[in-house]
Amino acid sequence: MSLNGLLLDKRSSIIKKWRDLVISTYPIDTQRFLKREKDRFSNPVGQTIAEDLEILYDQLIKDNDIDQISRSLDNIVRIRAVQDFKPSAAVGFVLALKRLIRKEIGVDTGQGETKDDMEALEERIEAAALLAFDIYAGCKKKLYELRVIEATNQVSSLLERANLKVEIPEFDPVL
Amino acid sequence: MNFILGMVIAAIGMGPVVMIPLVGVGVLKLNFFFGVIVPYAALAIFVIGIIYRVMNWSRSPVPYRIPTTAGQEWSFPWIKSNPIDNPKNTCGVVARMIFEVLTFRSLFRHTKLEYRNTETGPKIDYEWEKWLWLAALAFHYSFLVIFLRHFRFFMEPVPGFVHLLEKLDGFMQLGLLPINGLGTPGVYLTDMLLMLAVTYLLLRRIYIPQVRYISLPADYFPLFLILTLGTTGILMRYLIRVDITAVKELAIGLFTLHPVAPEGIGVIFYVHLFCLCVLIAYFPFSKLMHMAGIFLSPTRNLANTSRMVRHVNPWNYPVKFHTYEAYENEFREHMIEAGLPVEKGLDSEPAKKAEEE
Amino acid sequence: MADTPKPEELSKIDHAPPLMEGWMDVPAEIRPGIYCYGGKAKNVAAVGMPNPRDWNPADDDWKLPENWEQIIDEGMRDRLDKYRSFKLFMDICVRCGACADKCHFFIGSGDPKNMPVMRAELLRSVYRKKFTAAGKILGKIAGARKLTEEVLKEWWTYLYQCTECRRCSLFCPYGIDMAEITIMGRELTNLLGLNIDWIAGPVANCNRTGNHLGIQPHAYKDMIDFFVDEIEEVSGIRVEPDLNRKGAEILFVTPSGDVFADPGTYTAMGYLMLFHYLKAQGLDITWSTYASEGGNFGFFTSHEMAKRLNAKMYAEAKRLGVKWILGGECGHMWRVVHQYMNTWNGPADFLEEPVSPITGTKFETATGTKMVHIIEFTADLIRNNRLKLDPSRNDNLIVTYHDSCNTSRGMGFLEEPRYVIKNVCNNFYEMPPNTIREQTFCCGSGSGLNAGEDMELRMRGGLPRANAVKHVHEKYGVNMLSCICALDRAVLPTSLGYWVPEVAVTGVHEMVANALVFDGEKERTTNLRGEPLPGMEDEE
Ligand code: HEM
Ligand code: SF4
Ligand code: SF4
């Protein structure tokens, strides 16, 4: 069977394991809630993870639509960026897919076409991981911007009145 | 404290509850003590305890009118209000309380019936909250019915409502258990329900991590107690028969204040009775006081009339606040300059005095 | 050299408790992004609250008073004797967990100590130790624990992660209201000077100048003048508001946020326009610079402080000799006005039972407090056809409505705003039922938590609300979230800016004013924000 066939075959099992892995990064006492509460509005964290991991998987293994991938990564990473995670922990789940697939599929990657396919897939996953990191950094930057905007808004009319209103500076962090 | 320890502690607490009557009656033969004195003492603690607790709560006033409004308030005639969830008067409050007490309305609120898309089409998914509400209702009503059914022992002749309850409750024996002749009395629905519901309530405490996280020994203990109470009761009814006539003699004696402790009632009965005594004696000092507390809860038992009628706080005390005078004194010059009306002109006496200070 | 950790190892949250430990053994973490800065000495001293000093929650030493334990002890006893709610709620919780997953902070963070029942247990455990026999004798076995500095820090951490939104209370079978417990807990921490500056500052300002920002009267006037110019620019109408005018029939009080903060300023312009419109029909109304703050951050420190700040409203009404008070769009201001004001500072027998001077409608809900919500007032006007409205001017908006916690669960004010909204705009869509009306989700930044330094906390808390907004944005193209709360207008743009940047925030009276057709106005080409009206895009 081709790699893609295998990946489709094991789709639900891999996705489930992947989701469990992401959920397992939350406090043990809340994992069940995150998994079991199926209402999108009562449990946005758990449901976002469930829905977007599925999309991500499909996109990564076949369609590779970069917009879809970014959107789904954004949904998940945006949440994790404001929770108690270190940066590596917030985005680490993407790379974890690589190991998961290897473990699950267990193909000997040492031969021919499958090997190439596998390498291509792993490259895509790595790219997605990098993208996730960009998104994470973007979220943090956004938080900072919002803080400034809010502070300005709070006294906006005064500033305007006193002709003190300044436009929010463009954020171009010099590294 | 974690949940394993919590359960172990609660279980250790249960040990004496079973052992004391076993030894006391089984070995030491203290029938009168366990059959008469302990029940009276427990009942006294129960009654006095509850009265004390309720009085104690009532001693603290309700300074503010803070109902949780769970629906549209009464406002314009052309806007439909929700008189139960947002009561406008005592009538509404009574209705709200009746729903709370009899149907656990608030607990029901967060139950949602859910449709989930699965591969085989939409599927109804009952969330666990539904089970909590159901189990809570099943448990409390079974408890109530079983309690009422016990009047069969306390009263002679047996009152009519008990017969009625027994009939309704025992309808299962007709169709479902045809082998009645073997000496097995009919199965009461509430016996089963109570045991199932309590078991469920216990299991969810162990199984659902959030509930496990918040549970204390004081949460496991009453469940263990009720489970033991129910188990001994069921055992007596179906397996280890005791002398019912003697039990009835004892019960009527207790009820009519002419206590006797007849011989020959199996020790299991005393375990059952002692569990009950512990339960009611424990009642006033525990979370079981929610039975009385619910009626006093200020977020539920007050009408949303806050803007219509002044609610009086008995300990309301005057406070010092920054007066207009002080305010004007500080800003008078600016105010005048900006064309804002002021109480006192710049060269009035008080203004000068304020200036000097 | 150690091996590089695997991704899945790296990504674990590090505070999963060991099997044999329970929550009592896990101390709270004071994390940046979550906690708010401590109240500054000058702000705390300005209103005479206890233990003023500069302190930093991240430091080990919180500079507590010597006898802090005794203070808490007495403070708790005092409050148990004064508040049945507190005493009852300490005793009757069965820990059924029904409230556990109803809190937006729990939902957004997954931190089990953010379950409402836990917030209460933090205090209850100490209560049991101090005030119950079982707790004194059995200690931990009875769920009791000693109050240590560590426990105190845990209190503080989680008391300032509760927005007093009361959502939990809705689902509790006994109505146990964590907001009530948080209020008590915050009173206790305030006895030790454990405040946050974002609350202490506004309180000090409000006390002195009448508003949270510390704006002095002339600057306030200046602000209103500025609005007058802006309004003229948009509509060609010159409104003439009154400030501090004696003998007016009605005193208008609104949160200062509307006067100084975007996008609340547009709502303030909305009020001005509405009042001007009604002038010809007999509205006689004045603003006040002294009572220029409807909001009440005092409510987030102690009942007494709240009462002190609130007292100005009636005092000013009396001084000006008005007949009744009209209140602007605000959340916690209305919790205070509705459920506390008359008890604290009433009876308001120097005022008259409010009657709309335009329609003659008697506001029977407000006969005691004598204060009417501006949405009630406007709804009644619309109902009686007193406003000429052109909702199509709001056609560029696809609107949804966020019920603020205080007006929905502390008042039951659900239909009136919807009625007004549906009359001033054509595109209105509700969010899912379990996120609106009495079940509404908090903005995530209420009760004084809208500081800048706790942005991560606020974003987590705001997630459930924003998530529902996102849903209607994706489904119906909603681009405007309307609300009747000044705090919402200040904080939701930030929260949505993070979660759903396509959706902006507006007050209801901004939309009213945009739709309001004046006699003799010039043809409007823009709305109050200066954005082109639908169909006018080319005129720019
Ligand atoms: C006015 C009467 C009562 C009302 C309205 C009431 C209501 C409730 C509600 C709503 C719950 C929460 C749901 C649950 O956890 O099951 C509860 C729990 C409980 N009630 Fe009652 N109750 C009443 C009387 C009693 C009595 C007389 C007992 C004594 C046996 C009792 C024992 C319990 C126990 C043990 C629990 C906790 C169950 C658990 O651990 O999950 N209740 N009650
Ligand atoms: S819902 Fe009420 S009784 Fe149940 S755990 Fe929460 S506060 Fe306690
Ligand atoms: S009042 Fe609101 S913020 Fe506080 S615990 Fe309850 S749900 Fe959470």
In this predicted model, what pLDDT tens digit does every residue of B166-205 receive, in sequence order?
878 776 554 444 444 444 556 788 888 999 999 999 998 9
CA atoms within 13 A on the CB side of B12: 8
- pLDDT category of residue B226 using cuts at 50, 70 and 90: very high
Residue written as tokens 């109803």? Answer: C102
The two structure tokens encoding residue A109: 């990657």
DSSP C301: T
Residue B205 CA to residue B219 CA, distance in Å, equals 9
Domain ranges of chain C: 13-195, 205-539
Q: Which of B350, C432, B253, B277 is nearest to A44 (CA)?
A: C432
Q: Which of B239, B267, B295 is the last residue of a domain?
A: B267
- CB contacts < 8 A, B to C, total 295
Residue written as tokens 């919780």? Answer: C93
Query: From the CA of B221, how many Å to the nearest CA of chain A?
Result: 22
DSSP B121: E
B338 lies in a domain? yes
Interface residue C102 vs chain B (CB under 8 A): yes
B334 CB-near residues (< 8 Å, 6+ apart): C216, C217, C218
Tally of domains in chain B: 2
| Chains interfacing with C (3 or more CB pairs < 8 Å) | A, B
Specify burial of residue C347 (Cβ count, 10 A radius: 0-12, 13-18, 19+). Answer: middle
Tell me the torsion sign for CA atoms C6, C8, C11, C12.
negative
pLDDT at C9: 53
DSSP string spanning C141-168?
GGT-----HHHHHHHHHHHTT-----HH
Among C99, C101, C103, say which to mutate for ligand 3: greatest number of ligand atoms within 8 Å of CB.
Answer: C103
Return the residue in B3, B119, B127, B204 with the most chain A beta carbons within 10 A, the one to mutate for interface testing.
B127
Residue C171 CA to residue C151 CA, distance in Å, equals 28
A chain contacts of residue C6, beta-carbon cutoff 8 Å:
96, 99
SS3 B20: helix
As a whole-number percent, the residues of chain B with pLDDT over 90 amount to 45
DSSP string spanning B144-166?
HHHHHHTHHHH-SSPPHHHHHHH
B96 and B200 share one domain: yes
Among left, alpha and beta (phi > 0; psi -120 to 50; other), residue C52 is: beta
Q: Which of B335, B336, B337, B328 is nearest to B355 (CA)?
A: B328
DSSP C424: H
pLDDT at C129: 93
Q: Is ligand 3 within 6 A of the CB of residue C178?
A: yes
Question: How many Å lie between the centroid of ligand 1 and the Cα of residue B147?
Answer: 15
pLDDT at B180: 43
Specify burial of residue A28 (Cβ count, 10 A radius: 0-12, 13-18, 19+). Answer: middle
Instruction: Write the residue in A34, A93, A154 that is nearest to C11 by C-beta.
Output: A93
Q: Is the ipTM of this complex over 0.90?
A: no
SS3 C66: coil
DSSP B344: S
Q: Which of B267, B284, B315 is the last residue of a domain?
A: B267
Contact A38 B127 (CB under 8 A): yes
A chain contacts of residue C260, beta-carbon cutoff 8 Å:
154-158
Between residues A2 and B348, the one the model is more confident about:
A2
Between residues B56 and A107, the one the model is more confident about:
B56
SS3 C203: helix
Contact B70 C367 (CB under 8 A): no
The CATH number given to whatever domain includes residue B79 is: 1.20.950
| CA A70 to mean position of chain CA atoms | 8
Contact C455 A143 (CB under 8 A): yes
> Position C347: which residue type?
P
* Ligand 3 atom 2, closest CA: C165
pLDDT at C246: 92
* Residue pLDDT, tens place only, B280-325: 999 999 999 999 999 999 999 999 999 999 999 999 999 999 999 9
* Ligand 1 atom 4, closest CA: B291
Tell me the torsion sign for CA atoms C40, C46, C49, C51.
positive
Q: Which of C79, C43, C63, C39 is nearest to C196 (CA)?
A: C39
Residue B345 CA to residue A80 CA, distance in Å, equals 61
B chain contacts of residue A28, beta-carbon cutoff 8 Å:
209
C chain contacts of residue A86, beta-carbon cutoff 8 Å:
10
Between residues B263 and B215, the one the model is more confident about:
B215
Residue of A nearest to C490 (CA): A154
H/E element holding A8? helix A3-9
B154 lies in a domain? yes
pLDDT at B31: 86
Residue C310 CA to residue C524 CA, distance in Å, equals 39
The CA distances from residue C304 to B85, B319, C190, C369, C394, in Å, are 30, 7, 11, 19, 43
Between residues A68 and B119, the one the model is more confident about:
A68
Specify burial of residue B182 (Cβ count, 10 A radius: 0-12, 13-18, 19+). Answer: exposed
Question: How many Å lie between the centroid of ligand 3 and the Cα of residue C175?
Answer: 13
The two structure tokens encoding residue C444: 């995530």
Q: Which of B136, B108, B162 is nearest to B226 (CA)?
A: B136
A chain contacts of residue C109, beta-carbon cutoff 8 Å:
83-84
Residues near ligand 2 (Cβ within 6 A): C 93-99, 117, 172-174, 176
Query: From the CA of B116, how many Å to the nearest CA of chain C?
Result: 16
B chain contacts of residue A32, beta-carbon cutoff 8 Å:
208-210
Contact B209 A39 (CB under 8 A): no
* Ligand 3 atom 6, closest CA: C168
* b/e sequence B25-59, b meaning 16+ C-beta within 10 Å: beeeebbebbbbebbeebeebbeebbeebbeebee
B-facing residues of C in 258-297 (CB < 8 A) are 289-290
Interface residue B57 vs chain C (CB under 8 A): yes
Query: From the CA of B296, how many Å to the nearest CA of chain A?
Result: 30
Residue A61 CA to residue A65 CA, distance in Å, equals 10
Question: How many Å lie between the centroid of ligand 3 and the Cα of residue C103?
Answer: 5
B202 lies in a domain? yes
Query: From the CA of B210, how many Å to the nearest CA of chain A?
Result: 5
pLDDT at B311: 94
Of all residues in chain C, what percent are helix, strand and coil, respectively (each to 5)? 50, 5, 40
Backbone angles phi, psi at A56, to 5 degrees: -55, -45
B129 and B213 share one domain: yes
pLDDT at B185: 58
Backbone angles phi, psi at C248, to 5 degrees: -70, 160
Contact A38 B125 (CB under 8 A): yes
Question: How many Å lie between the centroid of ligand 3 and the Cα of residue C186?
Answer: 14
* Ligand 3 atom 7, closest CA: C103
pLDDT at C16: 45
- pLDDT category of residue A101 using cuts at 50, 70 and 90: confident
* Ligand 3 atom 5, closest CA: C116
B207 and B334 share one domain: no
B62 lies in a domain? no
C chain contacts of residue A82, beta-carbon cutoff 8 Å:
33, 108, 455-456, 459-460, 463, 498
C chain contacts of residue A155, beta-carbon cutoff 8 Å:
213, 260-261
Residue of A nearest to B212 (CA): A29
The CA distances from residue C457 to A65, C122, C540, in Å, are 33, 20, 41
Q: Which of C57, C84, C70 is nearest to C159 (CA)?
A: C57
Instruction: Write the residue in A45, A151, A155 that is nearest to C260 by C-beta.
Output: A155
Residue C70 CA to residue C73 CA, distance in Å, equals 5
- Domain span at residue B344 reads 324-356
Residue B124 CA to residue B115 CA, distance in Å, equals 5
What does each of the 540 residues of chain C score in pLDDT, given as a tens digit?
Answer: 445 555 455 444 444 444 556 788 788 888 888 899 999 998 898 888 989 999 999 998 999 999 999 999 999 999 999 999 999 999 999 999 889 889 999 998 888 899 999 999 999 999 999 999 888 888 888 889 999 999 999 999 999 999 999 999 999 999 999 999 999 999 999 999 999 999 998 899 888 888 888 888 888 898 899 999 999 988 888 999 999 999 999 999 999 888 888 889 999 999 999 999 999 899 999 999 998 888 889 999 999 999 999 999 999 999 999 999 999 999 999 999 999 999 999 899 999 999 999 999 999 999 999 999 999 999 999 999 999 999 999 999 999 999 999 999 999 999 999 999 999 999 999 998 889 999 999 999 989 898 888 999 999 999 999 999 999 999 999 999 999 999 999 999 999 999 999 999 999 999 999 999 988 888 888 888 888 888 776 654
Q: Is ligand 3 within 6 A of the CB of residue C162?
A: yes
Is a pLDDT exceeding 50 seen at residue B126?
Answer: no
Q: Biggest alpha carbon distance in chain A?
A: 72
Residue C47 CA to residue C41 CA, distance in Å, equals 11
Residue of B nearest to A29 (CA): B209
B83 and B198 share one domain: yes
Mean pLDDT score, A49-53 = 91
B226 and B331 share one domain: no
Is a pLDDT exceeding 70 seen at residue A167?
Answer: no
B302 lies in a domain? no
pLDDT at C20: 54
Find out whether C384 and C339 touch, Cβ atoms under 8 Å. no
Of all residues in chain B, what percent are helix, strand and coil, respectively (each to 5)? 65, 5, 35
B161 lies in a domain? yes
C-facing residues of B in 237-266 (CB < 8 A) are none
Mean pLDDT score, A21-25 = 90
Find out whether C447 and C405 touch, Cβ atoms under 8 Å. no
Mean pLDDT score, A111-116 = 73
pLDDT at B184: 53
Among C442, C447, C454, C457, say which to mutate for ligand 3: greatest number of ligand atoms within 8 Å of CB.
Answer: C442
Tell me the torsion sign for CA atoms B49, B54, B58, B62.
positive
Q: Biggest alpha carbon distance in chain B?
A: 108
pLDDT at A107: 60
Least confident of B109-123, B335-349, C40-54: B109-123
Residues near ligand 1 (Cβ within 6 A): B 101, 104, 107, 136, 139-140, 143, 201, 219, 222-223, 288, 290-291, 294; C 94, 96, 173
Residue B201 CA to residue B135 CA, distance in Å, equals 7
C409 alpha carbon, closest ligand: 3
